[in-house]
Structure 1
C-alpha cells in the first residue's frame, strides 16, 4: 500500500515558566492508504499533540520546532495558513476527545455540518436554493451513515439534546461530511459506557471499509487496538518506544514499557490475582537528561541505558527503542 501520511523527526515544544517542554520529541510515523494505525500510551505521552501538530492546530506557547509532515505528497509544514485550512476538514478530519465541548452549544447539528461543507466543498451548487438542498441532503445522509435515527428531525436539534454516544456519532458525521482521506479519532470512546464504546468503534471500522479511508485511532486501550488496528505505535514521554504490526506487538511485545502496559490490564483468567502496575512516575519533560526515558521505571535497566536510545530493529516490520532487546525476544 502507498503511504498517505509520513511524519519524520517531529518535535513540538511548549514554552513554560519551568522551562521548555518537548511534548513530542523526534516522532516518526507512516500511515498507508486504507490502513488503521493505533496510537497508545499513558496520558501525557504526546499522542494528541503529535496529531494536533499534523493538523496545524498547535498554538502559542506551543510550536512545531522541527521535522517534516508529508500528506499525499504535499509538505504540510510548507503551506500557508489558508492552504492548510483548505486541507483540514476536507482531506484530513479529526474528532476530539470530548464531543460535548467540541460541538458548539449555540448551533444546531445541521448548522455545524453546513459550516464544514460551505468551507470545504467546491462541488456545492452556486444557486442558493439548490445549495441549501444539497447541504441538507448530505447532512441527512451522513447522520444516517453513523446510525442517528430520524436524521431529518435531528438536524434541527442542539448538542445538549443528544446522549454522549449520539454526540460522538455526530462528531464522526461532521468529520466525514467532506469524505476525508484520513480520519484522526482522538479517544473516540472517552466517557462512554462499554456497549456504546463497542458501537462507536464498529461504526468507525465499518465506515473505513465503506469509504476506503485511512484511520488513526488514538487511545489508551490496548484491547481496542488489538481488535481494530492493523499496526500500533506505542508512545512514552513524547517518543515512540515501539511500533509494528498489531498482532506481533500485542502478542510478543519487545519494549519493557509495552510489556508493562499489557501486564497492567485486568484479565478474567487472572481473577483474584493483583494487577501489576508500572512502578514509578512519568518523567518531567523539562530538562530531560540524554538517556532512555523509561530508565527509572524499567525492570531491565542497567547503567549502560543512561544514553540516548534510537529506534532499533525488533523483528520484521518492527522497531523498539531499547538496548536490551535480546532479553525481551
Structure 2
C-alpha cells in the first residue's frame, strides 16, 4: 500500500506469489536442497529479473513453479499461487490446461528444447490446437496454421509462410530462439518465464531477442520472469531484480536502485565483475571461492566463506531484512546500518 497526502493507493494483487519454496533432490551424497525458503512476488505487467551464478537455484525455482520438477526431485515445502490458483495441488489434467495457455516457458537451449523430428509448423500448431479456445470448430487445423505463420511473422522470422515447414536444424541459433518465443506466446499467456533466452547468441541477436520480449510484453500486457546471469541484461530490461545465491534469495529491489546501490556483498561482487566503459583499465575483482554444495548447509549465511565482511554472527541463519521501501537483503551488516 502506498500512502500519499491526498489518497491511499492500493498495490495490485501479485499475479504470482511464492512463499517459503523448498525443492529437494535426493543424491548418493545426500539430500540436495536446490531451492531453500524462496519468497517472490510478480505483479501483472511486470518484468522480474532473476540473477545469480550457475547452481544458484534460478531455473529450479521456476521449474517448480511450472510443475516440471519430476521424481526423484520434489517440492518439500512452501506455496505457489498463480492468478489465485494454488499450483501445488493441481492434477495432471489441470496442469495440461494451464501450462502453455496461461503460463509459458522458454528453455535455455532452443536446439535441444525443440523437437528435431517435427517441423516448426507442427510444434506451434500443437500448442494452438490444445489451448487456443478462439479457433473455429470448422477449419481448425487451417486456422492454427494461419495463426502459426502470424506468430513467426510477429517474432521476426523472414518469409514465415515458406519457413514454417522447415525443421529446427534449418534455422540459426537466434532464429530458433525466436521460434521458441513464438511457441510460448502463441496462446497469449499471462506469464512468460524466459530462462536464459540469450544463451550462446551473439551480442546483436541478444539485443534483438530481448527487445522482442519487451515489445511483446507491452503489446500483450503479460508479466515476464527473465532468468539470467547477466546484470547488463537485467539493468536494461527489468523492473525489479531478485539476486539468488546457493538456493536462496539474498537481495531484492527495484532494478535501478539495486544496481546503483547494492547492499549485499554478493550483489556488489557481481556488479564489480562488469567492465566499466568509463575506465577500461580498471581491474576486475573476481569473487573468490565457489558456490557451496547444497547438502547439509544448516543455519549459516550461504555466502559466509566467500565474504570479505563476514563476522561470527554470520554463522547463523540470516533472514531477509527490510532495507528501505521495496528493498530486502539477507545480510546482518544491513541490519547494523539500520540500527
Normalising by structure 1, what TM-score? 0.97
The answer to whether the Cα contact below 8 Å between 2:321 and 2:335 also exists between their aligned partners in 1 is no
The match for 1:40 is: 51
The match for 2:7 is: none
Which has the larger displacement, 231-240 or 117-126? 117-126
How far apart, CA to CA, are the structure 1 residues paired with 2:166 and 2:275? 40
The answer to whether the Cα contact below 8 Å between 1:96 and 1:185 also exists between their aligned partners in 2 is yes
Cα offset for 1:159? 0.3
Distance 1:295 1:240, change over 3 A: same
Cα offset for 1:173? 0.2
How far apart, CA to CA, are the structure 2 residues paired with 1:324 and 1:315? 14
Match of 1:51 among 45, 62, 78: 62
How far apart, CA to CA, are the structure 2 residues paired with 1:205 and 1:124? 26
The answer to whether the Cα contact below 8 Å between 2:276 and 2:282 also exists between their aligned partners in 1 is no
How far apart, CA to CA, are the structure 1 residues paired with 2:313 and 2:13? 39
SS in 1 for 2:128: helix
**Counterpart check, 1:319 vs 2:305:** no
**Counterpart check, 1:135 vs 2:152:** no
The match for 1:79 is: 90
The answer to whether the Cα contact below 8 Å between 1:91 and 1:180 also exists between their aligned partners in 2 is yes
Task: For 1:174-323, list aligned pairs within 5 A.
Answer: 174-323=183-332
**Counterpart check, 1:68 vs 2:79:** yes
How far apart, CA to CA, are the structure 1 residues paired with 2:116 and 2:131? 22
The answer to whether the Cα contact below 8 Å between 1:254 and 1:328 also exists between their aligned partners in 2 is no
Cα offset for 1:117? 1.1
Cα offset for 1:82? 1.0
Match of 1:30 among 19, 23, 41: 41
Cα offset for 1:190? 0.1
Cα offset for 1:273? 2.9
Cα offset for 1:269? 2.4
SS in 2 for 1:324: helix
Size of the aligned set, in residue pairs, is 327
The match for 2:127 is: 116
Structure 1: which 5+ runs fail to align? none
The match for 2:9 is: none
Structure 2: which 5+ runs fail to align? 1-11
**Counterpart check, 1:100 vs 2:97:** no
CA deviation digits over 1:75-112, x for unaligned, max 9? 01111111012111000000000000000001000000
Normalising by structure 2, what TM-score? 0.95
How far apart, CA to CA, are the structure 2 residues paired with 1:224 and 1:157? 31
Which has the larger displacement, 81-90 or 230-239? 81-90
